[in-house]
Structure 1
C-alpha cells in the first residue's frame, strides 16, 4: 500500500463489500506499531481495522497543538475542510514508541459520525477474509469491558489484533462516549411501575463483540426494565437462538416467549451481524422476530443492505439515547 492512500482506494473496498449482502466477509487494513524493548531492540506488533471504518491513510500531517489536550492527543490537523484530532495509538496502548512522528503514517477513520486520526508506524496491506477466520480473543485477553482487543486474525506466522476503536475514542474523549448516557435522566423515556412491568415481560438478546459496548447496551435496557441476555458474537447468538427454537418447538410455545427481540452489531468475529440476520430470516422460527442492527458503520448503504436482508430498523451506536423508545415501539 502506498503511504498516502487516497479516499477512493478505501471507498472501492467499501463498495466491494457493500454489494454483497450477508456473505460473512470483510476487509481489514493491517498496520504496525514498533515497540522499544528494554535492551534497545525493537519489536513489531501487527494490528487491524475494518476497511469500512477507514476514510484514508496519509503521511504525518502538519498538526496544531490543542489547549489542555486529552492524554495521547498529538494535536489537530485539517483534512478536506475538516478538523481532525490525531491520537498517538501506541501511547494509548501503553507501547513505548520508536522514531519521530514525521516518519509515521496516520489512519483517518470515519465511523459513529466522527472522524479521527490514529498515528501508526506503518500500513502494509488489505486482507479480504471470512468472519469465520476471525477469532474471539482468548479468555486471558478478553478481560472484560476494559479490554481493547475484540478479535484476532492469524496470517502466515503472525497474529493481527483487531482493536476496539470505539472504546479507544470514548476513553480519549468521554464527552462523545455512550457511557455518558443515563436512561434514568432521559425525560423522553418513561420509567414508572406500569412501563417497567410491561418491559419485564420481554427478553432481549444483545449481540456485540465489544464487552464495553455490550455492557452499556445491557445496562440501559435493564435499567428501563427489560430482561437481557447477551452473546459475544454472531455464532454465539445463533447457537443460543437455535436452542431457543428447539425448546419452543418441544414445548409447543411461540419462540417470542423466550426471546422478544434481537439487537445486533454488524462487525463480529466468527459470524457477522448481517450473516446472522440472513440466517435468522431463513428460519421459520425467526421470520417475524423484531431485529435491530446497531452498529458504528451504519452508513446509508449499510442501512439499505440490512433492511434488504430483513432488519426491522438500524441505529448508529452513538444514538443509544433512542434505543429504549425504539424497542418500546416494536414490543409495547
Structure 2
C-alpha cells in the first residue's frame, strides 16, 4: 500500500460513477479500566499519497500540540500530526506498530499518525451517509460522513478542518473578501449581486460556512446544501416550480458551486446528472475541491463544469462567480 498513484488513477478516470475508494484505519482508545476500544475511521484514497512506518521526526518550535514534529520524505519536509491527540482519543504509545498516512490535498503534504491501517474499500457514495442523520451537524464537527459496515461504523474525517486548526496560516478562514482589492465592491456591483442566488454544495459545515460568508459579503444570496443528493432534490423542485411559473431556472439559481467528495451523491455525479437535463445544460457550475488534480479538472470539464477551483484558493471564488453569472 506504499504508492497509491496507480490505484487512484483508476477511480479518477471513472469520475461521475458516484463511487469512491476509502482507506480504513483505526485508533485504539485506551479506556480507564485498561481495556481498548477500537475506533474506525476512513479517508478518501484520492487524498492519500502513501502509507509508511513511523519515521524519525524532529521537533518543530512553537508548533501545534498535536504536531509530533517534522520528517523528511523524498526531500520534502512534512509535519507529522498525532491524529489521536487532535481527536482527544488516548492511544498506545508504541511507535513500532503504528503507521503514518501521508496525504496530499489543498496543495499540501501532511502525515497523520494512526494505530493501524486495514484495507481499501470501493463503495458507492449512495452508501455514505451524512453525520447529521446520527447527530446534529455543527460547524465544529470533524466527521463529514459515515459508512455503515456489517459490524461497525467508519467515520470519514474532515481533514481540511483538522489542517486548518493545526496550521491557521494556510486556512481559508484568513481570507476576507471585503479587503480584496481585486473584487469590485461598489454600490452598483453589490446591487447586481443581490439579485442573484448561488447554490453552495459541500459536506463540510466548516467549508460551507466559509464559502457562504464570502459570497454573502460580496452581496450574493446563497442557498447551502450538505451533499449532492440534497442539492439534486432541491434543484428538481426548482425545475418544477420554474415550469409551473413559466420562468427560466436562472431566475431561481444563477450558479452552482460544488465540492467533489460528498455523501449520497458526489459532485461529479451531480454535475453529470444535471447536464443530462435540458433546464440545467447551461447553468454555470464551478467545482471547488481539495482534490482538484489535473486529471480531476479534466474530467470535471469533460462532464460539463464551467471551471474548477482548488481549495484553499477561495480568493478566486467571487471573481469566477462574477465572470460566469454576469457574462
TM-score (norm 1): 0.97
d(CA) in 1 for partners of 2:222 and 2:160?
22
CA contact (8 A) 2:271 2:303 kept: yes
More off after superposition, 189-198 vs 77-86: 189-198
d(CA) in 1 for partners of 2:49 and 2:149?
24
CA contact (8 A) 1:150 1:163 kept: yes
Deviations 1:241-287 (A, max 9, x none): 00000000000000000000000000000000000000000011100
Q: Residues 150-165 of structure 1 correspond to what in structure 2 (within 5 A)?
A: 150-165=144-159
Deviations 1:3-60 (A, max 9, x none): xx322xx112211112213000000000000001011111101000000000000000
Match of 1:260 among 234, 254, 258: 254
Q: Residues 219-230 of structure 1 correspond to what in structure 2 (within 5 A)?
A: 219-230=213-224
The answer for the alignment partner of 1:35 in structure 2 is 29
The answer for the alignment partner of 2:298 in structure 1 is 304
Deviation, 1:71, is 1.6
The answer for the alignment partner of 2:189 in structure 1 is 195
CA contact (8 A) 1:207 1:265 kept: yes
The answer for the alignment partner of 2:94 in structure 1 is 100
Alignment partner of 1:330 is 2:324: yes
Number of residue pairs matched by the alignment: 326
d(CA) in 2 for partners of 1:181 and 1:248?
35
Deviation, 1:195, is 0.8
CA contact (8 A) 1:30 1:47 kept: yes
The answer for the alignment partner of 1:55 in structure 2 is 49
Q: Residues 86-125 of structure 1 correspond to what in structure 2 (within 5 A)?
A: 86-125=80-119
Runs of 4+ in 1 over 4 A off after TM superposition: none
The answer for the alignment partner of 2:142 in structure 1 is 148
d(CA) in 1 for partners of 2:184 and 2:262?
32
CA contact (8 A) 2:26 2:116 kept: yes
CA contact (8 A) 2:13 2:295 kept: no
CA contact (8 A) 1:142 1:149 kept: no
CA contact (8 A) 1:13 1:27 kept: no
Deviation, 1:102, is 3.8
Match of 1:218 among 212, 217, 227: 212
The answer for the alignment partner of 2:240 in structure 1 is 246
d(CA) in 1 for partners of 2:89 and 2:136?
19
Deviation, 1:189, is 1.0
d(CA) in 2 for partners of 1:142 and 1:28?
24
Q: Residues 285-300 of structure 1 correspond to what in structure 2 (within 5 A)?
A: 285-300=279-294
d(CA) in 2 for partners of 1:148 and 1:250?
41
Deviation, 1:144, is 1.1
d(CA) in 2 for partners of 1:75 and 1:52?
25
CA contact (8 A) 1:206 1:230 kept: yes
d(CA) in 2 for partners of 1:70 and 1:147?
19
Q: Give RMSD over aligned pairs.
A: 0.9
Q: Give secondary structure in 2 for the equivalent of 1:103.
A: coil
d(CA) in 1 for partners of 2:135 and 2:96?
32
CA contact (8 A) 1:150 1:209 kept: yes
Deviations 1:153-187 (A, max 9, x none): 01120100000000000000000000010111111
Q: Give secondary structure in 1 for the equivalent of 2:203.
A: coil
d(CA) in 1 for partners of 2:276 and 2:77?
45
